Amino acid sequence: MGERCSWASSDLLAAYHDAEWGVPVRDERTLFELLTLEGAQAGLSWETVLKKREGYRRAFAGFDIDAVARFGSREVERLLGDASIIRNRLKIESTIENARATIALRVDGGLATHLWSFVNDEPIVNRWTATAELPSETGVSKAISKDLKKRGFRFVGPTIIYALMQAIGMVNDHVTTCPRHAELSSS
C-alpha cells in the first residue's frame, strides 16, 4: 500500500482526499459547490473551507444554482453576518454572480460540458512523485480562467481553476505512490 498524498495531513483533509479529491464530477450542482468553495479558499487553507462546508450548504440553499442566482442585497447582508461561512463580501457576491453565469452557460450545454471540453472530456493523468512537483496553474487552467471571466464568472483565476480541476478530477494529481492515483487512473 502506498502513501497518501502528503497534503492530507488532518483527519478532515484525509477523508476529503480519500473520498472526493480527484474523482471526476460532471454534476452541475456539485461543480458549482466546488467552484464556490475553491473561490472561498483564496488566501485561506483548504481545511478552513472544508470546516465551513456545511455552513456554505445551508447559507447557499444547498447550492441550488437557480435559488442562489435570485439572491439580492438582502441575502448578501444576511450572509455577511453568518459565521458559518467566510464573511467576505466579494466572495459572497461572486457566488451569486457565478450562479447567474452558470445558468447562462446552460444554453451552450452547461457548466460540466463547458469545463470538461478543455480536456477533451478525459482527465489528464499526471505522474508526480512528490506533492512539491504539483503546479499551481497550467496553460489549461489559464485558458479556462480567461474564458470564465469573459462569461462573467468571478474568483476564477488560474490557480483557483487549477485547484478546481484537481478537485473535480479533470486532472489526476495524486502522487504515484498514493493508492488513489492508480484507482482514479483506471476509472
Each residue's pLDDT tens digit, 109-124 = 999 999 999 999 999 9
On whether the CB atoms of residues 26 and 116 are closer than 8 A, the answer is: yes
Superfamily of domain 11-185: Hypothetical protein; domain 2 (1.10.340.30)
**CA-to-CA distance for 38 and 33, rounded, in angstroms?**
9
56 is catalytic: no
20 is catalytic: no
**Alpha carbon of residue 36 to chain centroid:** 7
**CA-to-CA distance for 179 and 10, rounded, in angstroms?**
18
Only one residue has cell 435559488, namely: 67
The confidence band for 7, taking pLDDT boundaries of 50, 70 and 90, is confident
User: Of 28, 33, 38, 116, which one is the catalytic site residue?
Assistant: 38
- DSSP state for residue 5 in the 8-state scheme: P
State pTM to two decimals. Answer: 0.95
User: Of 16, 20, 93, 97, which one is the catalytic site residue?
Assistant: 16
**CA-to-CA distance for 18 and 4, rounded, in angstroms?**
8
Enumerate the domain spans of the chain. Answer: 11-185
Only one residue has cell 478546481, namely: 164
